[in-house]
A and B are shown apart, each in its own frame.
Chain A
C-alpha cells in the first residue's frame, strides 16, 4: 500500500513527514538528518547530487550547483547544463525525488502522493510550478497548501469549530514571513502576509562570526576571515554558540590552534553572553519588526485579538525573537511542535486527511490516566500506562507479603502519582481462601482488560487454586478533561516528592524482605553457620529490625547494608550448597535482596 507524505519544500532546507498510526513522523534522510538542504548539483560525470552532498562540492562546481531555486519558481528562469535548459520546477523536482526516495527507504513502501507547501504569497504561476515539480518527481500532488496553514494544521487548530485568528511567524535560514490567518468551519483564509526575503538565521551567525573576527584581530592582529579552514571553523562555532544561547545565559567559544604566527600557535577562546549576542544582533531583530507590524495592521487586528501565535523556523528558538513576538502579538506563542518541522508535519496531517488515513471505525481512544493496583508500602504499581491505546489487556503476577496470608486486597487505582493515597480509587475487592503458604510463594495473576468503550474489567486469580474474583468499572474515561489535566499536572509538580516517597517505600520493603529471608535462613540452616557468623548476623538483624520500627529511612538503608554484608560471605556458600542439593530451591538464600522487588508486588513474571 503506498503512502502519502507531507513536504515542506523550503528555500534553503526541505523536510518530509508522514502519518504513522495517526501520528506525524519526520523522516530522516539517507544521511541521517531530518532536514535536507534544497541544493541540487550536476557533477561533471553527469551524476545529480542533492542536499548536503551537493553543498559540499559547490565550490568546485559553482556553475552547475543550484541553491535557493525556490526564488525562481514560476518565472522563466532556466539553467543551462550540458546544453539542456533546466527550469526551476525541474530542479525542485530533484529535491522532491530525494525526499521521496528517503521516505520510501524509511517506510519500506512506495510513496506516490504528497501534499506540498508554498509561501502564502505565492501566486498562481508559482503554485502551478510547484505542482509540476511534484509531478516531475513522480508524485501525485494531492494539494498545494500555504506554509502558515500547514503550521496551523500541525497544531490541530482546524479541529476547534470556532472562528479563530492565527498569527504565524516564520524565520527560516534565509527568509522571513509573517502571516495572519483566519479560520472558521475548517476553512483557512490568509488575511495578510508580509516578510523580508533576505533575512534569516544565517544573518545571526554572520553577526557572531564578525564579532569573533574583530575581537581576534584586536587581540592578536590576525585576520581569521582570510583563512579558509579558520573561516569554516568559525562558522560552525558561531552557529553552535547561537543555538546554545537559546538555552543558557552565556557560552564559551573555544577553537584551539585556530591559527599560527611566527611566535607560535594561537587559540581562540571567548565568552559570549546572551546579552552581548542580543546587542550584536539588535539590528537584525529590528528588521523583523516592520513586516510583523504591517501584517497585523493589514489584517485589521489590534493587540489581544490574536487567538494563537505559531513559531516556524529554527531561528524562532532565540529568546529575543520570542520576546518580540509576545510584545507585538500580545500573546505567548505555541511551541509544542519543533519549529523546523511544523510545516512538514502539518502537510503530513493534511495528506492523511486527504487519503483517509484514519478511518472512523478505527479511530481508537486512549486511557487518559494510568491504571494499577496498590502494592506493599502504599505504592501504586501500574499495569496500564496513560495514553495507552485501547482496547488492551495486561496481566502481571503478584504475591503475598506475609506468611500464611489468607487473602489479598486488590485496590484498583487511577492516576499518575507514585503513592496510592494520592490517586483515585476506582474500587476494591478481596481474593480470599488462599491456601496457607510462606510469603512470596502464591502466584496471583491480576489482569486489567479495557474494552474499546473504556470499560475496565479487573480480575485476580490464584494460580494454585484457580480461585478468581473480579470487578467491572464503567465510565473511567469519562473524567472531565480539566480533572485529567489537573491530575497529570499534580503528578508533575509532585514528581520529586513522590519519587522520594516511593524510594523510601522501596528501602523499607527491601529491608523487610531481608529480615524475613535472614530469619528464615537462621531457622533453616543456622546450624551450618559458625558461632561468630551467627552472633554477627543476629546482631545486625536486630539492628535492622529496630531501624524498621523508626522513621529514619537512611538508618534503615545503612542497617540493611550492614546485614547484607554480614550474610554475604556464607550466603553464597550456603546458596551453592543448596543449589546442588535441590534445583528447585528458588528464592532460598537470596539474602542479597538486590532486586528492586516490592513484595506483594513481587512480579514473578508476565504470563
Chain B
C-alpha cells in the first residue's frame, strides 16, 4: 500500500530539468533542492510551533489532572466516612464535612444523584429495575449505593447507582 503514499517534497529535486544548457540544468536542480530544504525547514518550524502550543495546553491539563489524582486517592476515605455514617457512626459526619469543605472550593464535586435522570457519563449502574406500568419518566436514579466524585468537571469515579426504567 506504500505506493499510494502522497508525494514527498524532497522528490522535487529528483526531477530532471532539461533546458539544453548544462549550467542552467544544474542551477535548476539546485534551486529545486533548495526549495525542498526550505519547505522542510518551514514544516519543521511550524510543527515545533504547534507542538509548543500543544505542550502548553497539556501542561495546564496535567496540572489539573495531578490534583485530581491526589483527590482520587482520598476517595476511599470518603467512602469509609459514608459507610460509617450509614452504620450509625454519626460522630464521623463533621470529619467528612470538613474534608468536603477543604476540597470543594478547589475543584471537588460530590455526585449524589438521587432522583436525577440516569447519566452514564457520571453514574455507574450496578442494579436495575423495570419502570412501573405507565411510568415513562425515563431512566432515573432511585438509590446511590456509593457517591461519585468529579474534579474540575472530570469524573474521578462515577456514582454507583440503582436505576429504574
Assess the A257–B125 pair: CB atoms within 8 A. Answer: no
Q: Determine how close the nearest CB of chain A comes to the CB of B38; give it in whole angstroms.
A: 12
Query: A286: CB under 8 A from chain B?
Result: no
Assess the B125–A57 pair: CB atoms within 8 A. Answer: yes
Assess the B54–A256 pair: CB atoms within 8 A. Answer: no
Interface residues of A in 38-67 (CB under 8 A from B): 41, 43-44, 49, 53-54, 56-60
Assess the B160–A229 pair: CB atoms within 8 A. Answer: yes
Query: A21: CB under 8 A from chain B?
Result: yes
A44-B139 contact, Cβ under 8 Å, with A355-B5, A359-B10: yes
Interchain residue pairs with CB less than 8 A apart (20): A21-B51, A31-B155, A49-B120, A53-B120, A58-B125, A60-B118, A60-B128, A108-B50, A108-B53, A108-B54, A228-B127, A228-B162, A229-B146, A231-B126, A232-B146, A257-B83, A265-B87, A355-B5, A355-B6, A361-B40
Which B-chain residue is minimally distant from A364 (CB atoms)?
A: B44
Which A-chain residue is minimally distant from B9 (CB atoms)?
A: A359
Which B-chain residue is minimally distant from A108 (CB atoms)?
A: B54
A57 vs B83: C-alpha distance when bound (angstroms)? 24
Assess the B120–A57 pair: CB atoms within 8 A. Answer: yes
Assess the B40–A354 pair: CB atoms within 8 A. Answer: no
Assess the A228–B145 pair: CB atoms within 8 A. Answer: yes
Query: A187: CB under 8 A from chain B?
Result: no
- What class of interface size applies to chain A in its complex with B? 35 or more
A20 vs B2: C-alpha distance when bound (angstroms)? 20
Which B-chain residue is minimally distant from A141 (CB atoms)?
A: B1
Q: Pick the residue among A57, A232, A256, A355 that contacts B80 (CB under 8 A).
A: A256
Q: Mark A133-144, 1 if CB is under 8 A from B, else 0.
A: 000000000110
Q: Determine how close the nearest CB of chain B comes to the CB of A359; give it in whole angstroms.
A: 7
A32 vs B157: C-alpha distance when bound (angstroms)? 12
Q: Pick the residue among B2, B10, B145, B163 that contacts A229 (CB under 8 A).
A: B145
Q: Mark B26-65, 1 if CB is under 8 A from A, else 0.
A: 0000000000010010011001001101100000000001
Assess the B54–A56 pair: CB atoms within 8 A. Answer: no
| Interface of B: prevailing SS | mixed
Query: A362: CB under 8 A from chain B?
Result: yes
Assess the B123–A56 pair: CB atoms within 8 A. Answer: yes
A54-B127 contact, Cβ under 8 Å, with A32-B154, A257-B80: no
Q: Determine how close the nearest CB of chain A comes to the CB of B14; give it in whole angstroms.
A: 13
Which B-chain residue is minimally distant from A237 (CB atoms)?
A: B76
For A32, list chain B residues within 8 Å (CB): 65, 154
Assess the B124–A359 pair: CB atoms within 8 A. Answer: no
For B118, list chain A residues within 8 Å (CB): 57, 60
Assess the B87–A257 pair: CB atoms within 8 A. Answer: yes
Query: B158: CB under 8 A from chain A?
Result: yes
Q: Pick the residue among B65, B125, B154, B155 that contacts A59 (CB under 8 A).
A: B125
Q: Determine how close the nearest CB of chain A comes to the CB of B67; give it in whole angstroms.
A: 13
Query: A583: CB under 8 A from chain B?
Result: no
Closest 6 CB pairs of A and B: A257-B83, A57-B120, A265-B87, A229-B145, A56-B124, A56-B120
Q: Determine how close the nearest CB of chain B comes to the CB of A164; give it in whole angstroms.
A: 23
Interface residues of B in 136-163 (CB under 8 A from A): 138-139, 145-146, 154-155, 158, 160, 162-163
Q: Determine how close the nearest CB of chain B comes to the CB of A91; give it in whole angstroms.
A: 18
Query: A549: CB under 8 A from chain B?
Result: no
Specify which of A32, A260, A355 lies most central, judged by the most chain B CB atoms within 10 Å of its CB. A32
Besides A32-B154, A44-B139, A53-B120, 6 more A-B contacts (Cβ < 8 Å) are A56-B124, A109-B50, A232-B160, A265-B87, A356-B8, A359-B40
A361-B37 contact, Cβ under 8 Å, with A228-B127, A265-B87: yes
Query: A264: CB under 8 A from chain B?
Result: yes
Q: Mark B107-127, 1 if CB is under 8 A from A, else 0.
A: 000000000001011011111
For A355, list chain B residues within 8 Å (CB): 5-6
Q: Determine how close the nearest CB of chain A comes to the CB of B40; give it in whole angstroms.
A: 6
For A233, list chain B residues within 8 Å (CB): 146
Q: Determine how close the nearest CB of chain A comes to the CB of B162; give it in whole angstroms.
A: 8
Interface residues of A in 1-53 (CB under 8 A from B): 1, 20-21, 31-32, 41, 43-44, 49, 53
Q: Mark B8-34, 1 if CB is under 8 A from A, else 0.
A: 101000000000000000000000000
Query: B84: CB under 8 A from chain A?
Result: yes
Which B-chain residue is minimally distant from A231 (CB atoms)?
A: B126
Query: A452: CB under 8 A from chain B?
Result: no
A20-B51 contact, Cβ under 8 Å, with A54-B120, A256-B83, A265-B87: yes
A53 vs B120: C-alpha distance when bound (angstroms)? 5
A32 vs B6: C-alpha distance when bound (angstroms)? 33
Q: Determine how close the nearest CB of chain A comes to the CB of B76; give it in whole angstroms.
A: 8
Query: A107: CB under 8 A from chain B?
Result: yes
Interface residues of A in 506-546 (CB under 8 A from B): none
For A43, list chain B residues within 8 Å (CB): 120
A53 vs B138: C-alpha distance when bound (angstroms)? 18
For A142, list chain B residues within 8 Å (CB): 1
